[in-house]
Structure 1
């Protein structure tokens, strides 16, 4: 079940990466690279820091799912763009899931709650950072429009806190993921965003 949820999250993240490729007018190879990096980049960075073989290289599905997402976007990107609101909701769910799961894995390998929280955020947003850098955009992590990194931080911190309190397993993971998901969805609907320095120009303006 956990692998199925992972693959769903990877698929949704890969769709956003491939759509970025369309917006940047990249060819199919560029779209595929962005899809793979968005979907797998955060988990690969996490596992390399933990000094373990990345999960992406232990299952063929982890690599093939982003390829499938790229093909879908390549041929039907206007239709995919029309259902973007649904994709954003699924993306928020993936964000919450990956932040909680990433933190839990870091804790399993003996990291402190603080370091595990940082690695949980890395798992959730690292692929998006790699995507944005490759595409020449301001990384979401550095310009948290409509709160993206903050929900990931909430999910990771809650997961670390629950684990410290002796609560483990899927109930703790679900609780942390749902809280991150709820904050992300609320931020999207209400237009919340992290503050910028007084008098600074909005880079998206």
Structure 2
């Protein structure tokens, strides 16, 4: 379980970095950096715990908030060194999404024992922080980009759940699931992978309805 906790910390740090990078693109002050780093880093997990009706994870462990604060300060002083901040934001977001899809599924499965709920909480944990970040900064939402996003989170959560039900060691399940989610999202970023979209077509004319 120690490796799982480290993965959780890493996910928070990476997502916090994407929030801070978004703040740098908007040229906000240090408070803006801190706020967006925290909202992005712990927002998804907070929403998950509220839905599950359990104590919010960072309330009982201040390390999560401290990680967000530390990352925000570091990015505040170093973001100017990164030429393409949006591209970096997308790849860091892919890492965070992969980590949080695993952590969300693990928490949902532990609390409810339901594979379906585990997959849902994995997706919510992975996606909600990034959605909040984009809404607050006015960036194009990751949900509206043409390439795969939610599907990658679903893949990670589903793989972890299946591996856990197959009684694989927790660390092995987490590693396989993380790799699955990151490969799907990374492939989407690099090669433009997507799933078929809905194509609008004319409705039936009233005269054609019996």
Query: So what's the TM-score if we normalise by structure 1?
Result: 0.84
How far apart are the structure 1 equivalents of 2:170 and 2:161?
12
Query: So what's the TM-score if we normalise by structure 2?
Result: 0.82
How far apart are the structure 2 equivalents of 1:83 and 1:23?
7
**Alignment length (residue pairs):** 199
1:203 corresponds to: none
1:202 corresponds to: none
The 5-angstrom pairing of residues 103-182 of structure 1 reads 103-141=105-143, 143-167=144-168, 169-182=170-183
1:193 corresponds to: 194
Deviation, 1:191, is: 2.0
1:183 corresponds to: 184
2:45 corresponds to: 43
How far apart are the structure 2 equivalents of 1:116 and 1:164?
11
Residue by residue, what CA displacement relative to the aligned partner does 1:46-92 show, whole Å, maximum 9, x if unpaired?
Answer: 11222221221222221111112211222221114558766654542
SS of 1:25's partner is: coil
1:140–1:149 CA contact under 8 A, matched in 2: no
Deviation, 1:111, is: 4.8
How far apart are the structure 2 equivalents of 1:129 and 1:191?
20
User: Are residues 38 and 145 of structure 1, via their aligned partners in 2, closer, same or farther at CA, if it must alter by over 3 Å?
Assistant: farther
Q: Unaligned regions of 5+ residues in structure 2, if any?
A: 201-210
Deviation, 1:160, is: 2.2
Deviation, 1:121, is: 0.5
Across the aligned residues of Structure 1 and Structure 2, the Cα RMSD in angstroms comes to: 2.5
